[in-house]
Structure 1
Amino acid sequence: MKAKLLLEISNITQEIETDYPELYQYLDENPITIPNEDNLNVDDKSLKNYLETLKTMLKKHKEGHQ
């Protein structure tokens, strides 16, 4: 499940970066702020929430620019 969520997050992030760079600044994925810990545990719920946030942000942006 986690691998699928990470793939979806990666795909939508790539779409935003490529097709909607004006949104990229709003992503919380700044490499400087990502912890560098071996035992960091991100659960499926957190990943799902993040994915839904990305989807919602992209959907609203698309609707506003039609």
Structure 2
Amino acid sequence: MDTKTQQILTEISTVTRDIEENYPELQKYLDETRSTLPEGGNTEAKLDQKELQDYLDGLKEMISKYKEEHQ
């Protein structure tokens, strides 16, 4: 796994933890938006960096919209 992909996965974990701790009402949307599972079997599985980045951006956007609506 390359460094950029690892950084994106780390940030996804951080944002997901933030949602779980600070916005528990948004947790129900995590499963609906998850597209981060690798394709293929365990030995040849690859993560699509663009899909990971899109997922991360979607998580951040969800938090941002929630904050706007609940200020």
Q: SS at the partner of 1:40? A: coil
TM-score relative to the length of structure 1:
0.83
TM-score relative to the length of structure 2:
0.77
Deviation, structure 1 residue 43: 1.2
Greater share of helix: 2
In structure 1, the gaps of 5 or more residues are none
- Superposed CA deviations along residues 8-58 of structure 1, whole A, max 9, x for unmatched, are 1000000000000000011127xxxx67x4132121101000000001001
Q: Which amino acid aligns with 2:63?
A: L
In 1, Cα distance between equivalents of 2:31 and 2:47: 15
Q: 1:54 aligns with which of 18, 42, 59?
A: 59
1:1-66 correspondence runs (5 A)? 1-28=4-31, 37-38=41-42, 39-66=44-71
Taking only aligned residues, the RMSD between alpha carbons, in angstroms, comes to 1.9
